[in-house]
Chains A and B, each alone.
Chain A
Amino acid sequence: MSEPIVRFQEVSKSYDGRSLVVAGLDLDVVAGEFLTLLGPSGSGKTTTLMMLAGFELPTSGTIRLDGRDITALPPHRRGIGVVFQNYALFPHMTVAENVAYPLRVRNVPAAETAARVAKALGLVRLAAFGDRRPAQLSGGQQQRVALARALIFEPPLILLDEPLGALDKQLREDMQMELKQIHEALGVTMIYVTHDQSEALTMSDRVAVFNDGRIQQLASAYELYERPVNPFVARFVGENNQLAGEVVACEGDTARIRLGGGVTILANAVDRLSPGDAADVSLRPERIRLAHGDGEARDNLVAGAVDKLVYLGESTRLFVSTPGGPTIVAKVQNEEAALDVARGRPVQLAFRAADARAFRVERPA
């Protein structure tokens, strides 16, 4: 790993002097990466970004850019590109004037400005729109103007705060692709804020999951999805069954856990577990199969009855109640489910121990 382009050291922020919105944040951003800050509303993502952009002052800690302490540097001297959620285009300027603004600030000669504006507008596929006003553009086009405006002065780092939040689904997916392409083409570092987890997973090199002003996990999309380190991440990223249980036995990283009602399963112990501990087991619905008594080797087989079916097109979501135990959600491919699953039908749920991740939790007695 090379020298980080951005380094947060013990950064905390409180607006009211009592509660911490960002608490002891340590974060290194690698030059050239696409890093996403993902988290529920109010978890401190925007605050973190605004401290980096220079619009909020940390209550404590330091922020470094290329090794230089920028904690108290005013925003206009940081040279960081920012794309705001509501675009923040200048309504009284044309698209070309908007994009040229950073060059105007820097006294770039007119001929060079014209060439660079044309290039930047070409990059976001708006070459023909230079003379329009922002108000005459669609949301997606406005967002691309904002992006071109932030790219044109070639900042090494670009911050994007939910830039696609206001767009409809189709447009959002197109823009995701476009952003990724621009990121790869220019090699610029991007820090991206979203609370849409699928967006985070598809676009990022790494994702930092925020909750309560702290990073819960910082990892690649694969790691995050396959190996969440705590119940919050497991719940927040992707769909998950959260099954409360008690540890019966533990051997190596495999634990035997009783879920109640006589349902006992084998699970992968993420934390160190010992018999008697309370544990939460996370189990992804799509990792559950329906066993048909064909002798397939499975770590776990749980018997239950189908309570409810939700047809999803390529798959069906089954709500399976276990006798005296929890209700488990399974998502099965339709070629399999189509066989003869119906409400009230008894089924056997099969899943691997590795897919059931057990976390130790404190539970009030």
Chain B
Amino acid sequence: MAARSIRTRGERVGRLAVLAFTGLVLVFLVAPVFVVVPLSFTDSEILVFPLPGWSLRWYEDFFTNPLWTGALYNSFAIGLSVTVLATVLGTTAALGLHASRFRLKPVALGLLMAPLAVPVVIVAVAMFYFFARIGLLGTFPGMVLAHTVLALPFVVVTVLATLQGFDPTVVRAAASLGASPLFGFRTVTLPIIAPGVVSGALFAFVTSFDELVVTIFIASPRQRTLPRQIFSGVSENLSPTVTAAAVVLIVVCMSLMIAVELLRRRSARLQGKAQ
């Protein structure tokens, strides 16, 4: 160990290069966020630096203009429905997959995960044709179903991860103490895996809330969601309201992801303690 701390000059240069490269990548990834946030507070009609002056007028526009409030409402309505549906389906799927000794388990898991691996455009095209045939194109249920398919893998993965540390004998213990399967699930299994379920639910919401590609394919012209409205706002007329909308989207998604991380730590701590 001691010998290792003495680095040659070459090694030191190498380390610096890696650090510099990592920094560049981070700047590249995060910079747009830092550009868009100040821009959203401009008081000018055009997006320029330095800001001519500060104002909240674009936020006011965002929260009063029916075009934007409608999109926000749609995004929440679809997102919450997706959250409920994907969480229920994903949790039960994860529980079933975890418990079963079914030979085709990897295949079932692979199929559930497919929307993550297949390019989104392909999924979108497939859904477009499929939904057109069964009359779901441009409908609210259609949007919810499409987003649920995309969100499901996240729920399954997070719940399965929580189940790794779950001791199945507590379920047997509950049964031996007189609990029916349903009562045992409600009072024992669910509270223990709750952090995973909630993380999965948050992931599901975020997945739907910032989904654009599939939405463009299957939503009707009047079904505007927040990402879609931003997209058309940018391509049609670059009103600074777009930046305010983008900041709202960023804030919602980031706070949910922070919540997921906090839950993950809490759950790791609980399981770490309970052996």
Contacts and interface: CB of A to CB of B under 8 A. Distances in A.
A137 to B, nearest CB: 11
Q: Most chain-B CB neighbours within 10 Å: which of A55, A92, A104, A133?
A: A92
A53 B176 contact: yes
Interface in B130-151: none
Interface in A58-114: 74-76, 78-82, 84, 86, 88-92, 101-102, 104-106
Given A92-B192, A135-B275, A82 B167 contact: no
Nearest to B179: A105
A134 B191 CA distance: 15
Interface residues of B, number: 24
A340 to B, nearest CB: 54
A38 interface: no
Given A91-B192, A92-B191, A76 B179 contact: yes
Nearest to A102: B177
B177 A88 contact: no
Contacts of B271: 91
Contacts of A136: 273
Contacts of B174: 76, 90, 101
Contacts of B273: 91, 133, 135-136
A88 B179 CA distance: 14
A146 B176 CA distance: 12
A317 interface: no
Contacts of B175: 54-55, 74-76
B60 to A, nearest CB: 46
A193 interface: no
A149 interface: yes
B8 interface: no
A86 B178 contact: no
A55 B176 CA distance: 9
A153 interface: yes
Interface in B168-191: 169-170, 172-181, 183-184, 187-188, 191
Interface residues of A, number: 31
B181 to A, nearest CB: 8
A90 B191 CA distance: 10
B274 interface: yes
A82 B172 contact: yes
Contacts, number: 79
Contacts of B167: 86, 88
Contact of B172 (A75, A91, A104, A105): A75
B270 interface: yes
Given A105-B183, A135-B274, A89 B178 contact: no
A150 interface: yes
Nearest to A74: B175
Contacts of A54: 175-176
Contacts of A80: 176
A74 B171 CA distance: 13
A105 B169 CA distance: 18
B178 A91 contact: no
A149 B176 CA distance: 10
B104 to A, nearest CB: 19
A105 B177 contact: yes
B178 A106 contact: yes
B179 to A, nearest CB: 5
Given A78-B176, A88-B167, A105-B183, 8 more contacts: A75-B172, A75-B175, A76-B175, A90-B170, A91-B192, A92-B270, A101-B177, A135-B273
18 contacts: A54-B176, A55-B172, A74-B175, A76-B175, A76-B179, A78-B176, A79-B178, A80-B176, A84-B172, A86-B167, A88-B170, A88-B173, A90-B173, A101-B187, A105-B177, A134-B274, A135-B274, A149-B173
Counting from the closest, the 6 A-B pairs by CB-CB distance are: A91-B274, A135-B273, A88-B173, A82-B176, A88-B169, A102-B177
